[in-house]
Structure 1
Amino acid sequence: MKGPLSPLFSPRSIALIGASASAGKISNVVLKNLLDSPFKVYPVNPREDEILGAHCYPSVSSIPDEIDLALIALPAMLSIRAVEDCIRKGVRIVIVTSSGFAESGQDGKILQDGLRDLIGVSGTRLLGPNTMGLMVPFHGLDTLFIPVEKSRRPPAGSIAIISQSGAVAVSFLEKAESFGMGISACIGLGNRVDINENELLEFFADDPNTDCVALYLESFADGRSFVDIARRISKIKPIVVLKAGRTSSGSRAASSHTGALASDSDELVAGALRQAGVIRVYDDEELVDVARVLAYKGKIDGDRVCVVASAGGFGVIASDFVESKEHGVGMTMAGLSEETRARLSKTMPTFSSVNNPVDLTAEVTDLMYEQVLEALQEDPGIDVIMMSLELQPPHVTQGLVDVAARRSSQGRIPIIISAFGGSRTQETLRALESRKIPSYPTIWRAIRAIAALHQRGSYLMKQK
């Protein structure tokens, strides 16, 4: 994509200022990651001739090439001078990874204000400071200072992550990788001296690789602008926000973490996000769960849920979660039509239930699952199906993954899957994820994802 931020996401050349020859140091880890990328990489260290086989330059000004992106891995005070050098060089975007700025107290705030003043009168843009940088799988870009062997990266996919916390971003990436979910990009905001979530949200709105944007925020750079931008973008792409710092203690912790200023009351924040069509979540697990169901399935147009299970107990638990407003999502268990119940009766054992929840019993087979799902997907009184997938019954095989994929792609009604079990089930969840079928290891997480689809659908319906 073209635009003012394109050198950040797809640079032609990268300088690493403060590159280290010491294994395990942050800048050594970053250099190792960068050297595995397709870009031209220029390590800068006046005390080294070569690091990891790459020729070192004494300064950014001595690099013969134009530099699109520079990463600065130096202490805070030295970072200021390095930014000045980058501005003189004409570097288009600078990432400052260093901490020791506004999050560390008054002295750090003075340094950060100086950094803002430098950037404000230049043509160079800045991400950070106090940021882990970014990862863009489609372009092979990885500036994260976490070793790959300690934190495996997810594949390319359709979800963008914008995070004010490096650890929360890494948590998202590891959860995504664990079940094979892909991302379009992951970017750490840090202290937001220049580039902030509003500009990034605009960027991802136009990014063809991104179907959903997930954000972790401790404060808003400009809350009014965020709501205006989100209101416009949420009509075309879903936005999921984990807004932390909801309490006075959380707000104080945010201030010492990223130098974030206290936001408006959480009640006001919640109302503004809701009116802008933003889906709000409350922990990092829910952020991942909701982002992927919205990226894969988009929305549902009603609140009528049908539950299918081969274990009666799971059907009961799911029904409670669907209907309960206190300990559930307050949606509706769909009533099955006479025609649907008649079709189910021909397929299922005589002692099974053809009501909702549909209990397939331990006599279930792959074929029974398929025939039942097909019948349910043709019932006009159902908006979404939650399928509790159990691999334990004796007649069920791994072919159930193909059944779910087939019905998910061919049927009118979306299917969200819950599965329980050990290592075999985990493999099944990864197989389903690879086919973009939202699948969860607990019933509650599956139902919560369905509620997000309904919230999205309700918002879009009001916009018509």
Structure 2
Amino acid sequence: MKDALGALLRPSSVALIGASANPAKLGHVILKNLSEGRFRLYPVNPKSESILGLRCYPTVLDIPGKVDLAVLSLPAEACVPEAAACVEKGVRVVAVTSSGFGESGAKGRRLEERLVSTVKGSDTRLLGPNTMGAFVPSIGLDTLFIPREKSPRPEDGSIAMLSQSGAVSVAFLEKAAASGIGVSACVGLGNKADIGENDLVQYFSEDRRTKCLALYLESFSDGRRFVQIAKDVTRSKPVVVLKSGRTSAGARAARSHTGAIATSSDALVDGALAQAGVIRAYDEQDLMDVAKALAYSDRIEGDRICVVASAGGFGVIASDYVTDDCQGAGLRMARLSRRSEQALARVVPGFASIANPVDLTAGVTDEMYDAVLGIVQADPGVDGVMMSLELQPPNITKKLVGIAARRARSGRAPIVVSAFGGERTAGVLREFESRGVPAYPTIWRAVRALGALSERGHHLRRRK
């Protein structure tokens, strides 16, 4: 399986069966997206000699040399014979982007069974059907049938996204691009008729480009196996899962979406994920927020948080969220040592608060932030630091981004940033992200990220 997944995610040759010269067709969009990739690309269309300047082949069997990955963009009924041709050709992975299979009723389920039977027993593996395929920015692999001008793609990064929904994966990629967050790969699981989340989680556990795995699932291919795999993987890499179908209504919707069958109560899912060391997300934004925090910082060693704010109100709000059990972050406010308080008193204005939360007031400067971060990060009673920023004070400049990034890299306690504001503030938050500092537009989302880092640390300590 590892070799097959390598062919899917690092192919040297890709065939697009159903390539089209018509810009309105999905086969044209996919070909255009693939055309910038660093691999040999073979459009397959018996009615065209060339598309986008690329020579077309009548069938996959007419392609010279080997084919690692074949992407099928065809009506569902046409996929079975084309998959059979791929098996004959020795294609390693067939990604079927077409819908109309197990998610669409009895007829579709029978068609999916035929598709699976076609590749069963061969060296060819199946991704999907009903999948968006794969996006790997480092090699320009992009099988999504969404034009890039409608949905910008993120840069190369360290989060691997696995999704049972094409729309969720596309939205995740677009949001990541807008936020300056990079991904190592994004794979659409579709109906999971063959390749599933268990296979891919194992693959990405060994991928050096990937520091965190983020999953959207409507069902588990094999729940027991997932827990076993995740328990092993989370020793070295964090895994975050957004599991939908939590209610009876959600489970019914999942069946009509990807043919997913819910087999366990949500309470059992919760317990199983916790046992495996997996952190659970509860909506699509939470999935991204938690994944980027874990990709940048991996963990914090405890639950004691120091809040450093440039405005008293933000410090108070942060203190509420950190200590409010109803919010479920699982954190507490750190108690600063006397030595830390004495050091703070030497660098902040006399009217500023040196207790936690540390209120630097509107007279704050970049240099003051630098000194304060160094002091609180060195305090043995502090496990994590939240910078609750107000970017409007006159002596705060963009140099603060570099200061925070340096402190985050070198300091003992990880740093998370929050800043509430408009477009200018959003731009600065993106700069923090680009320097590897998790940054959020609300205080609660920053606290939630710290909670996830603390949960990750707890899982790892429990296993020692």
Normalising by structure 1, report the TM-score. 0.98
**Partners in 1 of 2:24 and 2:403 — Cα distance?**
46
Match of 1:293 in 2: 293
Match of 1:457 in 2: 457
Q: Is the 8 Å Cα contact of residues 163 and 215 (structure 1) preserved in structure 2?
A: yes
Q: Secondary structure at the match of 1:57?
A: coil
**Partners in 1 of 2:360 and 2:166 — Cα distance?**
45
Match of 2:415 in 1: 415
Match of 1:209 in 2: 209
Q: Secondary structure at the match of 1:427?
A: helix
**Partners in 2 of 1:378 and 1:10 — Cα distance?**
43
Structure 1 position 9, deviation (Å): 0.8
Match of 1:54 in 2: 54
**Partners in 1 of 2:4 and 2:69 — Cα distance?**
12
Q: Is the 8 Å Cα contact of residues 353 and 360 (structure 1) preserved in structure 2?
A: yes
Q: Is the 8 Å Cα contact of residues 12 and 40 (structure 1) preserved in structure 2?
A: yes
Q: Is the 8 Å Cα contact of residues 155 and 181 (structure 1) preserved in structure 2?
A: yes
> Structure 1 residue 66 and structure 2 residue 66: aligned?
yes
Aligned residue identity for 2:264: D
Aligned residue identity for 2:262: A
Normalising by structure 2, report the TM-score. 0.98
**Partners in 1 of 2:317 and 2:109 — Cα distance?**
51
Q: Secondary structure at the match of 2:326?
A: coil
Aligned residue identity for 1:221: S
Structure 1 position 65, deviation (Å): 2.1
Match of 2:281 in 1: 281
> Structure 1 residue 250 and structure 2 residue 250: aligned?
yes
Aligned residue identity for 1:34: L
Structure 1 position 125, deviation (Å): 0.5
Match of 1:240 in 2: 240
- Following TM superposition, the consecutive aligned residue runs of length 4 or more in structure 1 with deviations greater than 2 angstroms are 1-4
Match of 2:133 in 1: 133
**Partners in 1 of 2:65 and 2:2 — Cα distance?**
21
Aligned residue identity for 2:392: Q
**Partners in 2 of 1:418 and 1:460 — Cα distance?**
26
Aligned residue identity for 2:96: V
Match of 1:440 in 2: 440
**Partners in 2 of 1:403 and 1:13 — Cα distance?**
44
Q: Secondary structure at the match of 1:138?
A: coil
Q: Is the 8 Å Cα contact of residues 2 and 203 (structure 2) preserved in structure 1?
A: no
Match of 2:5 in 1: 5
Which range is displaced more, 427-436 or 269-278?
A: 427-436
Q: Is the 8 Å Cα contact of residues 320 and 328 (structure 1) preserved in structure 2?
A: no
> How do 1:75-154 residues align onto structure 2 when only pairs under 5 Å count?
75-154=75-154
Structure 1 position 24, deviation (Å): 2.8
Structure 1 position 146, deviation (Å): 0.8
User: RMSD across aligned C-alpha pairs, in angstroms?
Assistant: 1.2
**Partners in 1 of 2:343 and 2:24 — Cα distance?**
63
**Partners in 2 of 1:406 and 1:232 — Cα distance?**
32
Q: Secondary structure at the match of 2:353?
A: coil
**Partners in 2 of 1:368 and 1:52 — Cα distance?**
57
Q: Is the 8 Å Cα contact of residues 329 and 452 (structure 2) preserved in structure 1?
A: no
Match of 1:323 in 2: 323
Aligned residue identity for 1:259: G
Q: Is the 8 Å Cα contact of residues 391 and 398 (structure 1) preserved in structure 2?
A: no
Q: What percent identity do the matched residue pairs reach?
A: 58
Structure 1 position 2, deviation (Å): 6.5
Aligned residue identity for 1:313: G
